[in-house]
Amino acid sequence: MAQASTQTVCPNCAGTLQFDPTVGKLKCIYCDSVFTQEEAEAFFNNQTEEEQIKDSGSDWGDLADNMRAYSCNTCGAEIICDETTAATRCPYCDNTTVIEAQFSGAIKPDFVIPFAFTKQQAMDKYKGYYEKRKLIPKDFISSNHVDDIQGVYVPFWLYDGSVNVDAEFEAVDTTDTSTEIIRKIYKAERRGSIAFENVPADASKRMPDDIMDSVEPFNFTQLKPFSMTYMPGFLAERFDVEGDDDLVRAEKRVTNTAKQKTRETVKHNEVSEKRGQYQVNYTKKKYAMLPIWYLTTSWNGKQWNFAMNGQTGAFTGDLPIDYTKLGILTGIAAVAAGALLYIIMKALMPALGAALIVGLIVFFTNKGSMKPVHNATQAKEYMKGGIHLTYSQDTYIRTEKKQKMQNNS
């Protein structure tokens, strides 16, 4: 027997309601009536169980262990999807069906951030994203086509906590005189803590971690208590990565940020860490559904994946590179830098060295700008204030002096 699925319907005409990001409310796709989440929930809660559940007569014994069968509340067709699907579209009538069981009990999300951008706005952002890139192949602009674009509520774990810091650095102040280099060496000790809130880690195996990291940050001041009335019109997935497993990713990020912020408190010319203990303590874990527009395109026999933060509009995705254009740009920059230095210094070798260095910088900087997808290594956006130091001491150790070679000519 097919399991229960639900669909939020219009109280006026019984048509399909979908969440409209432009107004932040549910809107009927037939009569254009608009309802707040509270109004829709009140109507939804008054529906009887018989109205919500339809029996398609499906035999569950024929399904794979990780597949489930649901009945579409609009046309009655059977929908087959995997066990983590929380909202999907009926392949027959194209209406969104919300799997109520995925949002109940222990697996009910705590919070949601609603979509703030429509599908058309996401498409416009996509075009603007690649059209402004000068190094993109012309053929990509003219011939790539969007295979699929989906608004998906992606499951995320959000972590609150702090990092206790106990670190020691070797710090150096350098003075350069006409005859010697003087280095004053200190031992810098720091103890304290840094608090974090809502450090995110996506909890879906199907969503690439690096792409999800690259559309951050989210504005978590806009978290809302979870309601299924935000789901209609979009796809959704239940978490299939446990919170303790995602914790490892979050822990690396907050530790790296704690190290950097602690190091920044040591105000000397040179700083190197000699010893560091960074103890992560998590106080709370929250389960949230966050909005992502996910696009796939085909070009030159390859699939290209892109994503947009459905709250902020931040767009990401690696792009193809026209290496002929990149080579020309690199060459122009290198020749210009080398020629300028030669004119100033009248020396060939330094000019060639400058040309090489500038060329490499231009090449890798521009190549990197076309490959922005990355795994997050920091959690700066999720700090609650700065570092709170309980002990900060710089102790003078010694002075080192090095005589300069004298030029007798």
Per-residue confidence (pLDDT) for residue 52, from 0 to 100:
44
The chain-wide mean pLDDT, for the chain, equals 85
Tokens representing residue 348 in the block: 């060939």
pTM, two decimals, is 0.81
Quick one: average pLDDT of 5-26?
A: 74
Q: What is the DSSP string of 125-192?
A: HHHHHHHT-TTS-HHHHHH-EEEEEEEEEEEEEEEEEEEEEEEEEEEEEEEE-SSEEEEEEEEEEEEE
pLDDT at 374 over 80: yes
| Cα–Cα nearest to 283, from 247, 249, 329, 234 | 247
CB 181 within 8 A of CB 402: yes
d(CA 150, CA 207) in angstroms, rounded, equals: 12
Q: Which amino acid is at 320?
A: P
Percent share of the chain, pLDDT over 90 = 53
Per-residue confidence (pLDDT) for residue 57, from 0 to 100:
38
The DSSP symbol for 79 reads E
**CB-based burial, 389-402: b 16+ in 10 Å, e otherwise:** eeeeebeeeeeeee
Domain layout of the chain by residue ranges: 17-107, 123-319+383-401, 323-369
pLDDT at 15 over 80: no
CB 227 within 8 A of CB 112: yes
Q: pLDDT, tens digit, for every residue of 313-328?
A: 999 999 999 999 999 9
CB 319 within 8 A of CB 139: no
Greatest alpha-carbon pair distance for the chain in Å reads 101
Per-residue confidence (pLDDT) for residue 47, from 0 to 100:
54
Q: pLDDT, tens digit, for every residue of 25-35?
A: 888 877 778 88
pLDDT at 49 over 50: no
Q: Interhelix angle for 348-369 vs 323-345, to 10°?
A: 150
Helices marked H in 285-347: 323-345
